[in-house]
Structure 1
Amino acid sequence: MPRFRLLLEYNGTRYSGWQVQRNARTVQGDLIEAVQTVTGRRDRLEVYGAGRTDAGVHALGQVAHLDVATTLPPATLLTRLNEALPADINVLDVRTVGHRFHARHDAVARRYVYQVSRRRTAFSKPFVWWVRERLDVEAMRRGAASFVGRLDFESFSDDDADEKSTKVQVDAVDVIEDGALVLIRVTGSHFLWRMVRRMVGVLVRVGTGDLREADVGRLLRSDGEDVARLTAPSAGLFLEQVIYPGESFRDDFRGPMRLL
């Protein structure tokens, strides 16, 4: 049975996250239904994603691997999957890979980007967090430096039975001004549940002056209750790129959405 590597983009607004759940619509669930429609197979079918995005979170470059018994070549599978999928999920690439490839376990780094809007928008509400207060971007950049390194992010995450350790290698946190947007791009080995949204929430409060730059380190050492209250909305978050051994991040991979 062949294994395929899929690259996907999706608008997560209508979905309860990536992972299949009972009585909830998910991206993985809709993808499985599309595979069943296209291949006619309901047995021996497995789909694994590189990251389990939360409800309302989007993806520009989610990676998944698919095991399904089919003779369809990758190009045909891509076309037919997109014909069967809803408009807010799109498969960008399909290729065959070896059976040892695992979309989640083999990933060596991931990059998320969060869009903060500095103005009210009629069109982009599902894709930004509108912050009314003035943001001190330089203060946000200085605060972001406290997140870089191999650190314990237990206070920035909820319990997740699948995570054996709360230590995460964060390689970079970039705060970028792009017109009316402030983009927060986080690159690291992997991310805990809600970790990026809480990092963003803290940095925004540094930008508004509600927190000091030194508070970032203090919150990393806290019990997490104060951090949880600062969690940024899911709407502004995008899984931008996932890379594997031998690959490297491309700054022009998709870029910011530039919705404003």
Structure 2
Amino acid sequence: MRYFLELSYNGTPYHGWQKQPNAISVQEVLEESLSTVLRNSIVVIGAGRTDTGVHAKQIMAHFDYELSLNTEELQYKLNAILPSEIAIKKVYPVQENAHARFDAISRSYEYHICFVKDPFSICKSYYFKKSLDVEAMNEGAKILLNYINFKCFSKSKTDVKTYNCTITNAVWEKNGDQLIFKISANRFLRNMVRAIVGTLIEIGEHKLNNEGLVAILKSEDRSKAGYSVPAHGLYLTAIEYPEIIYIK
């Protein structure tokens, strides 16, 4: 049978989601914990790959197990042995062909910027000392919805068949001393959100205008876009799937 895990994690201690040699990852820790609880070698497939230091408020992963499981009991046992930075929120039985990565129809991210020096958010948001024109940044964010090719924001060396993504929401929201960028799309390219945020920050600093942003988008050239903001301010916040994959 196939099961979905809904989990969240603080990415600070981990070298991203994906298992890799000589570095601890969320996938590795999760597989080890599942294998211990189920007394079997378990492979976990995640909905996506977050980079080192990136957090997830919600991410999905799937695994296969030959027997029927008590999902609430499994959730309890996993949370009992997983590190404090990783929490299982729910375990779902799903259709045999359901896939955590390929069946996702929408993904959402947030990027957090903090304007005051706060020792408690040092690994959870990007401390930015200058003031920003949020209205201008939101005007720039709206432009993104008119385009589908985002090669200019993609990591240069990446193996993808297409750079096309459909962005359905992109907005900046002020929350006290924090500024939060929220973005949703059917898919994202590697480094895409961090590059978008860095480019929109340049608009907020009046170093770039909307015409310049359009020129960057049309160029399909990563070197023309803004810098990639630090990973620790980025959160994967939601992943949506068609209801048909779940077993009711």
Q: TM-score, normalized by length of structure 1? A: 0.89
Where in structure 1 are there 5+ consecutive unaligned residues? 248-260
The one-letter code of the counterpart of 2:158 is D
Shift of 1:72: 3.6
1:61 aligns with 2:51: no
More moved, 141-150 vs 124-133: 141-150
Cα distance in 1 for partners of 2:27, 2:145 equals 31
1:192 aligns with 2:176: no
Please state whether the residue corresponding to 2:24 is helix, strand or coil. coil
Cα distance in 2 for partners of 1:122, 1:129 equals 12
Cα distance in 2 for partners of 1:213, 1:137 equals 13
Cα distance in 2 for partners of 1:117, 1:226 equals 26
Cα distance in 2 for partners of 1:205, 1:13 equals 26
Q: Which one of 63, 81, 86 corresponds to residue 83 of structure 2?
A: 86
The one-letter code of the counterpart of 1:54 is D
1:149 and 1:65, CA in 2 relative to 1: closer, same or farther beyond 3 A?
A: farther
1:30 aligns with 2:45: no
Q: TM-score, normalized by length of structure 2? A: 0.93
Shift of 1:210: 1.9
- Matched with 2:14 is 15
- Matched with 2:205 is 208
- Matched with 2:134 is 137
The one-letter code of the counterpart of 2:15 is S
Shift of 1:212: 1.7
1:109-124 alignment to 2 at 5 Å? Answer: 109-124=106-121
Cα distance in 2 for partners of 1:213, 1:130 equals 25
Shift of 1:51: 1.5
Quick check: 1:149–1:169 contact (8 Å CA) kept in 2? no
Q: Which one of 217, 238, 251 corresponds to residue 214 of structure 2?
A: 217
Shift of 1:221: 2.5
The one-letter code of the counterpart of 2:201 is V
Cα distance in 2 for partners of 1:129, 1:119 equals 10
1:151 and 1:71, CA in 2 relative to 1: closer, same or farther beyond 3 A?
A: closer
Cα distance in 2 for partners of 1:12, 1:103 equals 19
Identity percentage over the alignment? 35
Q: Which one of 171, 174, 179 corresponds to residue 171 of structure 2?
A: 174
Cα distance in 2 for partners of 1:50, 1:149 equals 26
Quick check: 1:140–1:213 contact (8 Å CA) kept in 2? no
- Matched with 1:250 is none
Q: Deviations over 1:219-245 (max 9, x none)?
A: 223321132x61011011000000012
The one-letter code of the counterpart of 2:4 is R
Shift of 1:214: 2.2
- Matched with 2:232 is 235
Please state whether the residue corresponding to 2:204 is helix, strand or coil. helix
Where in structure 2 are there 5+ consecutive unaligned residues? none
Q: Deviations over 1:100-153 (max 9, x none)?
A: 111111100100011011111111011101111111100000011111144211
Cα distance in 2 for partners of 1:149, 1:16 equals 34
Shift of 1:215: 1.8
Please state whether the residue corresponding to 2:167 is helix, strand or coil. strand
| Coordinate RMSD, CA, aligned | 1.4
Q: Deviations over 1:191-216 (max 9, x none)?
A: 00000000011111111222223221
Shift of 1:8: 0.6
Where has structure 1 moved over 2 Å in runs of 4 or more? 68-72
Quick check: 1:129–1:236 contact (8 Å CA) kept in 2? yes
The one-letter code of the counterpart of 2:230 is P
